[in-house]
Amino acid sequence: MSTASPVVGVLALQGDYQKHRQMLDRVGVSSCDVRTADDFSRADRLIIPGGESTVIADLLRRFSLQETFSAYIRSRPVWGTCAGMILLAARVNDETVNPYGVIDIDVDRNGYGRQFFSDIRPGHMQLDGVDHRLDLVFIRAPRVTRVGDGVAVLLTCDGDPVLLAQNNVLVSAFHPELTDSVLLHRYFALTFAAEVTA
């Protein structure tokens, strides 16, 4: 498949998937909702949006999508934001969610506390040799408590890793889709893990 004009799928079972679609429209790449096994085959890349990880995991089971999803996230570029990050992690501090274990990190669900502690924090990161300023929107966010050897930390906030990558998997504890900046959506759609899709 061509990397020049990828179709970015957004898992559309529950959560703020429309927000991700709007960001991808602004980047100028094709995107689609992913709800069925057939939809997975149409997507070159996949975003797992924010929402409730318990519900998204439940609906994957309920609609018999577990195997298709599991195979996809082991072979194609995927990006999990917030709830999506929880689903992709190796371990979660909470037996209500069984994560799929495609990135070697442990996470603490709602590790920063309840909604009262949700906040926006400033972040800086280098991408393609350029410095970027980012608003990091944390909403009942998961906290990374362990980072495995093969995992790259791309951004930290107040000492915690909040954007990480391993092979074909990108995860963020925050919500770029709720900001004005399309930086990370452009990066994921066009640059991230290009060798996997080549």
Partner 1 sequence: MAEHKDLMTVKIGLAEMLRNGVIMDVTSAEQAKIAEEAGAVAVMALERVPADIRAEGGVARMTDPAIIEAIKKAVTIPVMAKCRIGHFAEAQILQALEVDFIDESEVLTPADYENHIDKHPFRIPFVCGCRNLSEALRRIGEGAAMIRTKGEAGTGDVSEAVKHLRLINKQIKELTVLSKDELPSRAKELAAPLDLVIKVAGLGRLPVPNFAAGGVATPADASLVMQLGAESVFVGSGIFKSQNPARMARAIVTAVAKYDQPLELVKASRGLGASMKGRSVAGISEEELLHTR
Residues classed as catalytic: 82, 175, 177
Among 26, 42, 62, 133, binds partner 1 (CB under 8 A): 62
In the block, tokens 């990190």 appear at: 105
Q: What is the DSSP string of 79-130?
A: EEETHHHHHHSSEES-TT------S-EEEETTTT-SGGG-EEEEEEEEETTE
CA-to-CA dists, residue 20 to 12, 41, 135, 198, angstroms: 10, 19, 16, 24
Q: Verify binding: residue 25, partner 1, rule CB under 8 A.
A: no
Per-residue contact flags (x/-) with partner 1 for residues 64 to 93, judged by CB under 8 A = ------------------xx----------
Closest distance of CB 102 from partner 1, Å: 22
Rounded to 10°, the helix 17-27/183-190 angle is 80
Q: Verify binding: residue 98, partner 1, rule CB under 8 A.
A: no
Among 4, 38, 115, 159, binds partner 1 (CB under 8 A): 115
What's the CA gap between 57 and 130, in Å, rounded? 37
Region from 9-17, 23-31, 66-74, 181-189 binding partner 1, contact rule CB under 8 A: 9-17
- Count the helices and strands in the chain (H runs, E runs): 7, 12
Region from 52-60, 65-73, 162-170, 188-196 binding partner 1, contact rule CB under 8 A: 52-60
Amino acid letter at 69? F
Among 3, 54, 66, 70, binds partner 1 (CB under 8 A): 54
* Beta pairing partners, 156: 161
What's the CA gap between 56 and 50, in Å, rounded? 9
Among 118, 156, 167, 197, binds partner 1 (CB under 8 A): 118
Closest distance of CB 43 from partner 1, Å: 18
Closest distance of CB 117 from partner 1, Å: 9
Residues that bind partner 1 (CB under 8 A): 12-19, 50-52, 54-55, 58-59, 62-63, 82-83, 94, 96, 109-110, 113-116, 118-120, 137-140, 175, 178-179
